[in-house]
Chains A and B, each alone.
Chain A
Amino acid sequence: MSLTAPIDLGLAILLLGLAVWVIAASATYRAAEGFIAYGLVLALVWVRVGSVDVALTEAALGSGLTGLLLLRAAARLPPADPAETARPGKGVRVLAALLSAILTGGLAAVVLLLPEPAPTLAPAAAASLPATGMGNPVTGVLLAYRAIDTLGESIVLVLALVGLWSLAPDGAWGGRPGALTTAPAGSALRFLAQVLPPFGILVGIHLLWVGADHPGGKFQGATVIAAMWVLILIAGLRRPPTVTSRAMRWLVVVGSLLFVGIGAAGTWLAGAFLAYPDGLAKPLILAIEAALTLSVAVILGLLLAGPPEAECPTEARS
């Protein structure tokens, strides 16, 4: 404890400093850059509070993909909009600071007054772990103890994609997502996009596979695979599929469909929705994880690629 205390303090100061940077930076682009660094430091903090699974997710998704999304948006927004530079008056800012300070003070009091001993669901999660054949308690919770949350989440992802696509302008429907297409990429980026994806996909599959017994899992693996796809799209080596592509739509929903199907089968075979029959838990969980990895990777990539855009005005309505 005495050895790690200075590291913890340094991490906390760095984290808060970067958060202040994200809020105070003058340009949106620089704030988004700060957010990426903030996410990486936050991932280290997650390691320090003992949640390596969350740290992997934060580094890949919270920092990497969210940062890319915000950077692209900052680059695409019209620059120097007067509405964006006009700040609220001093009175509003003082009131907001006061409100934020009260909120922080209240939350800090809650942190300092948390009950002893801390309530925990760890024994309940541990009790259901041997039946699933999983060694990683977080994966066990995600797919057995609280599988309903994970099912809901996989459906939320599909709905988010539906919402995103419905923002397409009239005439652009049937086009390709355009948020990631750039000016011709430099040769260094093209080279990176040719060399890195095989390794990245292996890392993603590895994360999925070891997630049964060690930190990792389908979301972390899917995020890495999605990042590889996005890298290829940004480098211009491949184009995103059109939103009307049947094959891609099947990939988007296959994870949720399989999850719902196996969950519903559990109603008859194991006596409850989302329950697994004895002895079959591990293979079923692996099947759900594999299908969900595929779907989540495709959905994350498509969420980054944005709504479909008309490629040029003449072919937009064809």
Chain B
Amino acid sequence: MSEATLFGLCGAALVGLGLYGLICHPGALRKILAFNLIGSGVFLLFGVIARRGAASGFGGDPVPQALVITGLVVAFAATALAVALVLRLAQTAGRTGLDPEPPARPDAAPERPS
């Protein structure tokens, strides 16, 4: 098995793991972590496609590589925005999950998102 196939299968497994975590973790921050796993798995699949497209004396197709770099920067920006939303949710509603019916808390009146 070539290293491209091996890491391609790795990327496929990462996407599956991330999806499981995204569904099963109630905490919003854990969902963000899981979503980043999905993202890195997709990037790795793309990297494997870049590796297979090696031509013209390059070690890999530079177009997917450049797109992955762009994707990594955008993923970081999206993660920063998502983390800020979670922190704000905890500040205003006193909860860190996305469950629409949080357990009753005496100290904070939960706001239902409209």
Contacts and interface: CB of A to CB of B under 8 A. Distances in A.
A287 interface: no
Contacts of B58: 122, 125-126, 137
A82 B72 contact: no
B6 A9 contact: yes
Nearest to A15: B10
Nearest to A158: B77
A54 B51 CA distance: 12
A51 B10 CA distance: 16
Interface string B79-114: 111011111101100111101001100000000000
A206 interface: no
A185 B99 CA distance: 37
Given A19-B17, A107-B12, A153-B70, A86 B30 contact: no
A93 interface: yes
Interface in A85-113: 85-88, 92-93, 96-97, 99-101, 103-105, 107-108, 110-112
Interface in A112-169: 112, 114, 118-126, 137-138, 140-142, 145-146, 149-150, 153, 156-157, 160-161, 163-164, 167, 169
B81 A163 contact: yes
Contacts of A294: none
A49 interface: yes
A160 B65 contact: no
Given A103-B15, A104-B12, A104-B13, A167 B84 contact: yes
Interface string B1-22: 0111111111111111111110
Interface string B50-83: 1111111111111101111110111111111101
A122 B53 contact: yes
A277 B31 CA distance: 47
Interface of B: 2-21, 23-27, 29-30, 32-34, 36-37, 40, 43-45, 47-63, 65-70, 72-81, 83-88, 90-91, 94-97, 99, 102-103
30 contacts: A8-B3, A12-B7, A12-B10, A35-B36, A48-B7, A49-B47, A51-B47, A51-B51, A53-B66, A57-B69, A57-B73, A61-B76, A62-B72, A70-B33, A77-B96, A86-B103, A101-B16, A104-B16, A114-B49, A120-B55, A121-B53, A142-B66, A149-B66, A149-B70, A164-B80, A167-B84, A169-B91, A219-B69, A219-B73, A303-B80
Given A12-B6, A39-B40, 8 more contacts: A15-B14, A28-B30, A54-B65, A107-B16, A122-B54, A142-B70, A161-B77, A306-B84
